[in-house]
């Protein structure tokens, strides 16, 4: 080989080595970026299995939708300046806001202008510094052409002239450093974001697109418009996913100054995981750096979320099936586990809907059935539970785990009870409610609180032979407070707080108590905070309704929220009572 050929060969080898290094380096970076977590902007790779053009009449008809439009106005408003703590705690000031705030899922846009999908690219607004809204409530269709979208990941894509922020079902999520998806992607860039995971036909999704005329520092002489809008469906692995903790919008109503001691002036809620069928029954386990266990009763699964775990191991299936494996499981809407807690020895105790029982995991890997029947009749569907410090267990037993709830023929007991297990003996301690649900102790364990999801709001009726209850037990969304006796019985039950007049369809679900005795109640409209004297201090309103909660992290000041299809967390100023 002559010198020139040798030089060329060495040069080629060198270039190959450089190319390989770049390839593997970039691949490693790509892998690391993937493992760093997901946001709404991280859409599935590859080509979608089906796409609907939402800028056409046929496309909007396919999702049973209607585009609605509104301009916005910039208005002066009152606020406070930054205080010494760098939070909004300083002197009163005047600042600016805009109206309307139309990102909420339940925002009433019925009086807005209806615009034809073929006019999305029409210039709107008045030019210069301006903002506007486009809203569309869509329904996942049965089929897109010949494709069944069941179980897919739904992705919305658009491009606004000039910037956009996109709310999904009343939620604007954003992670540190995120570009695109729900937040501004760049100058006239594409916004592409996940709007639904494991979707099913008939599922409704509310989109709210906030248009921004830019650049903001040099208001232009043009207007806002959508270049296009489409909904795509990607085939993905089934199941939920852990997310890069993403801040979401939260509203705190402060009805009493004491609420300020609980929630700081700049509250934050973070979304941690998404794509569940329905989240419930969380409990924090303070070992192995700490982790949260929670149920998805609809999926018959218990999940484990480890906030300090590696990115690919933050969310795992802890147990499945978690509550039922009978041959008729397809009839059940919520066959799995619901409430979870720990006994004084740290053993996991589980309410199983489909198996109609309460069980406890033993340290040797076996499982003990604590209760499955009362006076020879099978329990309904144990829902929520709490231990007293001496090991006495209290739990609620409404019929919500049955396929037909109150009217189900499989229901054997003529009432919905609250029970205790004292020194191994099951005893009925209350049957005041038709739908006893959330349950919690006061910090000194003197009182037991029980909430009601009343039969009346379900539209169902008692069966022949069912025992009657009071009007409060039948119709009221209320909490009763009982005096707890040493032998695990209750006495002097009194109405503690009545939520019946509060607007909203939900009854009462989870209840938790902080170290000062304040109650946190999943109630109509949000998470209500009630003082131990029965005074409404305020309400925490999250984009998705929180049905149950658990105090977590090392100091017990983080409230983990099970909110329908998602898992969230919120830091508070007062720690909670927990096992």
How crowded is the C-beta side of 53, counted as CA atoms within 13 Å? 9
8, pLDDT greater than 90: no
Segment 108-121, tens digit of pLDDT:
999 999 999 999 99
Handedness of CA 21, 24, 26, 29 (dihedral sign): negative
- Report the domain count for the chain: 2
The pLDDT assigned to 312 comes to: 64
- Assess whether 354 and 405 both reside in one domain: yes
In a domain, 536, yes or no: yes
Helix (H) or strand (E) holding 260: helix 259-262
In a domain, 32, yes or no: no
36, pLDDT greater than 50: no
- Assess whether 306 and 214 both reside in one domain: no
- Taking residues 436-443, what's their average pLDDT? 98
483, pLDDT greater than 70: yes
What tokens were used for 509? 């679900």
- Assess whether 293 and 416 both reside in one domain: yes
The pLDDT assigned to 14 comes to: 33
What tokens were used for 145? 């052409």
Segment 393-434, tens digit of pLDDT:
999 999 999 999 999 999 999 999 999 999 999 999 999 999
- Assess whether 329 and 224 both reside in one domain: no
In a domain, 295, yes or no: yes
pLDDT interval class at 40 (50, 70, 90): confident
What tokens were used for 571? 């830091």
**SS3 label, residue 472:** helix
pLDDT interval class at 311 (50, 70, 90): low
Of the two residues 7 and 416, the one the predictor is more confident about is 416
Handedness of CA 89, 90, 91, 97 (dihedral sign): negative
Segment 243-296, tens digit of pLDDT:
999 999 999 999 999 999 999 999 999 999 999 999 999 999 999 999 999 999
The CATH number that applies at residue 536 is 2.120.10.30
Of the residues 234, 266, 294, the one at which a domain ends:
234
How much of the chain exceeds pLDDT 70, in percent? 93
First to last CA, the chain: 79
The CATH number that applies at residue 124 is 2.60.120.260
The pLDDT assigned to 308 comes to: 86
Q: Which long-range contacts (CB under 8 A, 24 or more apart) does 326-331 make?
A: 326/354, 329/300, 329/354, 331/403
- Assess whether 353 and 213 both reside in one domain: no
In a domain, 165, yes or no: yes
- Name, in order, each residue with C-beta under 8 angstroms of 174's C-beta and a sequence gap of 6 or more: 39, 182, 183, 246, 247, 248
- Assess whether 122 and 141 both reside in one domain: yes
- Assess whether 223 and 315 both reside in one domain: no
493 by Cβ neighbours in 10 Å (0-12 / 13-18 / 19+) ranks as middle
Of the residues 213, 234, 255, the one at which a domain ends:
234
The pLDDT assigned to 38 comes to: 84
- Assess whether 84 and 161 both reside in one domain: yes
The pLDDT assigned to 73 comes to: 96
What tokens were used for 31? 């892998």
pLDDT interval class at 491 (50, 70, 90): very high
- Assess whether 204 and 250 both reside in one domain: no
The pTM assigned to this predicted structure is 0.92
Are β-strands 131-139 and 204-212 bridged in parallel, bridged antiparallel, or unpaired? antiparallel
- Taking residues 62-74, what's their average pLDDT? 98
- Assess whether 202 and 323 both reside in one domain: no
131, pLDDT greater than 60: yes
- Assess whether 376 and 524 both reside in one domain: yes
Of the residues 234, 254, 287, the one at which a domain ends:
234
In a domain, 2, yes or no: no
- Assess whether 455 and 340 both reside in one domain: yes
In a domain, 404, yes or no: yes
> What count of other Cβ atoms lies within 10 Å of the Cβ of residue 228?
14
In a domain, 370, yes or no: yes
The pLDDT assigned to 440 comes to: 98
Domain that holds residue 190: 50-234
- Taking residues 29-52, what's their average pLDDT? 72
In a domain, 268, yes or no: yes
Q: What is the residue-averaged pLDDT of the chain?
A: 93
29, pLDDT greater than 60: no
- Taking residues 441-462, what's their average pLDDT? 96
The pLDDT assigned to 3 comes to: 44
The pLDDT assigned to 310 comes to: 66
pLDDT interval class at 37 (50, 70, 90): low
Give phi and psi for 169, each to the nearest 5.
50, 45
Are β-strands 131-139 and 566-571 bridged in parallel, bridged antiparallel, or unpaired? unpaired
229, pLDDT greater than 60: yes
């Amino acid at each position: 080989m002559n010198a020139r050929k040798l030089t060329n060969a060495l040069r080629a080898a060198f270039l190959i080595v450089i190319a390989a290094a770049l390839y593997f380096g970039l691949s490693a970076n790509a892998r690391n970026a993937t493992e760093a977590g997901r946001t709404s902007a991280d859409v599935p790779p590859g080509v979608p299995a089906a796409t609907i053009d939402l800028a056409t009449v046929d496309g909007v008809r396919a999702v049973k939708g209607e585009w609605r439009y509104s301009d916005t106005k910039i208005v002066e408003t009152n606020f406070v300046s930054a205080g010494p703590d760098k939070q909004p705690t300083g002197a009163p000031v005047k600042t600016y806001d805009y109206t309307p705030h139309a990102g909420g899922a339940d925002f009433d846009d019925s009086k807005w202008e209806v615009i034809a999908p073929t006019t999305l690219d029409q210039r709107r607004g008045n030019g210069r510094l301006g903002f506007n809204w486009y809203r569309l409530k869509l329904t996942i269709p049965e089929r897109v052409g010949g494709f069944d979208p069941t179980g897919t990941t739904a992705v919305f894509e658009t491009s606004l002239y000039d910037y956009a922020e996109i709310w999904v079902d009343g939620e604007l999520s954003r992670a540190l450093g995120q570009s695109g998806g729900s937040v501004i992607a760049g100058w006239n860039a594409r916004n592409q974001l996940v709007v639904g995971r494991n979707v099913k036909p008939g599922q409704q999704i509310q989109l709210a697109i906030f248009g921004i005329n830019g650049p903001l520092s040099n208001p232009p002489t043009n207007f806002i418009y959508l270049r296009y809008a489409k909904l795509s469906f990607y085939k993905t692995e089934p199941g939920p996913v852990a997310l890069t903790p993403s801040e979401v919008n939260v509203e705190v109503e402060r009805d009493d100054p004491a609420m300020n001691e609980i929630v700081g002036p700049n509250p934050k809620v973070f979304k941690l995981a998404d794509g569940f069928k329905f989240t419930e029954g969380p409990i924090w386990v303070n070992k192995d750096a700490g982790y949260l266990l929670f149920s998805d009763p609809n999926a018959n699964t218990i999940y484990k979320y480890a906030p300090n775990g590696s990115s690919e191991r933050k969310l795992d299936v802890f147990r499945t099936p978690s509550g039922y494996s009978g041959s008729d499981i397809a009839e059940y809407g919520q066959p799995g586990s619901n409430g979870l807690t720990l006994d004084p020895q740290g053993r996991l105790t589980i309410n199983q809907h489909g198996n109609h029982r309460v069980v406890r995991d033993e340290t040797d890997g076996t499982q003990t059935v604590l209760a499955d029947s009362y006076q020879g009749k099978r329990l309904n569907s144990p829902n929520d539970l709490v231990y007293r410090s001496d090991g006495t267990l209290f739990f609620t037993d409404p019929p919500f785990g049955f396929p037909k709830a109150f009217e189900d023929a499989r229901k054997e007991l003529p009432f919905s009870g609250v029970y205790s297990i004292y020194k191994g003996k099951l005893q009925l301690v209350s049957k005041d409610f038709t739908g006893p649900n959330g349950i919690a102790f006061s910090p000194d364990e003197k009182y037991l609180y029980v909430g009601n999801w009343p039969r009346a709001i379900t539209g169902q009726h008692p069966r022949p032979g069912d025992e009657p209850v009071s009007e409060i037990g039948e119709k009221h969304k209320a909490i009763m407070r009982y005096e707890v006796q040493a032998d695990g019985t209750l006495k002097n039950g009194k109405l503690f707080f009545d939520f019946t007049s509060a607007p909203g369809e939900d009854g009462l679900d989870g209840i938790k108590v902080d170290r000062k005795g304040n109650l946190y109640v999943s109630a109509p409209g949000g998470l209500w905070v009630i003082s131990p004297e029965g005074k409404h201090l305020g309400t925490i309103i999250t984009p998705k309704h929180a049905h149950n909660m658990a105090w977590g992290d090392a100091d017990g000041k983080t409230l983990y929220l099970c909110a329908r299809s998602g898992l969230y967390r919120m830091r508070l100023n007062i720690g909670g009572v927990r096992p």
